Copies of this chain bind each other. A is one copy, B any other.
């Protein structure tokens, strides 16, 4: 034996004690990277490096990169606390919507994956189930189609609203922090466009409207949507013209 002790002996070069790995560790590292620098930062090489492993090692736990992204999405769905079925379906749906929005603010990359493909992970399914549960069984929503129509509408709004909000926030902080810096970057072009006079309402939006509270805008829109769902059986509000929208399929027989 040499005079090395166990203390200064380097890691045995033959087997450098590979950290035990599993899907959760991989997904966690990927999420941490994405939180830090967006989805661009999520590559097999970087995720593996963050875990002290080679890129190909991940393929033992994750079949493809798309699968990794799916797992990340499902993990975020798991973070969203779901309300227990209670009396007030509006409040329950509001809570879920706020949970989605909060998750998207914690993980801005989430919206890039939202709706890109159907989400079928266990947490995603639990999320959908809980959302359906807020309406199921109430007399206002007699058939499963009533429930699904309302839930789909709320979720579509939430997806779109959150995505737009995150996109705007991202661009704001991408062009520096202050509004002045934005004015310097994208300002000249927009100023020129607005100066053409072809966009008077847009000009008023940019100069007169209140841009402060994104949460308030979200709640405003959500209130509109929930109101519309609550009043959907009021015949006074079905579109006056004959053309466009058919009535809600709530009255359509769904078969036995």
Contacts and interface: CB of A to CB of B under 8 A. Distances in A.
Given A91-B239, A193-B125, A217-B152, A116 B232 contact: no
Contact of A163 (B136, B144, B159, B216): B159
A171 interface: yes
Interface stretch (A17-25, A42-50, A51-59, A242-250): A242-250
Contacts of A208: 144, 254-255
A237 interface: yes
Contacts of A148: 205, 209
B120 A205 contact: no
Interface string A121-147: 010011011001100100000001101
A171 B254 CA distance: 25
A241 B148 CA distance: 25
A128 to B, nearest CB: 6
A202 B91 contact: no
B221 A231 contact: no
Interface string A158-194: 1111011001101100000000000000100110010
A198 B116 contact: no
